[in-house]
Structure 1
Amino acid sequence: MFSKVTLLLGLLVLRTQVWAIPSGFTDISKNLNGFMMSVEFAVFQYNEDIEDEYAFKLLRIRRSQHKRHTWLYLMDLEMGRTICKKHDEDLENCPLQEGQGEKKVSCTFIVSTIPFYTQFTLLNSTCVD
């Protein structure tokens, strides 16, 4: 009897974990043109939406996925606060803040694209410091 209850609980936990994974997303190369444009859009939109006066830049792509048969991209990004203001030029070459101003953030974004029109829509974003 105890083993049946343990098995049932194990299956329920496994089922809950499977539901937590976004369905239909598969791994893709981080270098795909549409994906990289979506990453740039997500970082730009993050900078537009935060109240910080300094810009954040991409440090690392942790996950790169797309939903099959669509132009939806799922990405986990690590970003760091720079010494440049949000609307300064060439943020990619801007140094990161150090010491008291140093800040890194990890975000998950879902971006919908229409590549033929270079149109992007941020569908979901979740960030943690």
Structure 2
Amino acid sequence: MYKRTTAHITVTVTPAYLAEQSNPESGKWAFAYRVEIKNGSGEPVRLRSRYWHITDDRGHVEEVRGPGVLGEEPLLPPGNSYTYTSGCPLGTPSGFMRGHYNFERADGSMFQVAIPAFSLDIPAQNRTLN
């Protein structure tokens, strides 16, 4: 679990490897990540957009920008949270993601909330020592 708080908004990310959706023989590894966003501020905020910076273990970078998350722009009243699960395919067995969300306050002002950097890794392989 990875956690970061910016402007009283806490983002917690829990990644997982999806073996059943991966195909290492063809160079495809699938990962899911669960995100919880908790509003610890004293005002309602709306998530307007997201930015992801995805790096595989060869250093290849992909950037993803878009409105909201999963087609929604959730409103988070003070003390409430919003949770969603999404996925990320990689061409390598590991990598990492980081990014930010852009939120809007009731007065229309915008602010950025950091998403903690987190790793995407296949489970450790058992090794035999001779």
For normalisation by structure 1, the TM-score amounts to: 0.27
Higher relative contact order (CA 8 A, sep 6+): 2
More helix by share: 1
User: Which structure has the larger Rg over C-alpha atoms?
Assistant: 1
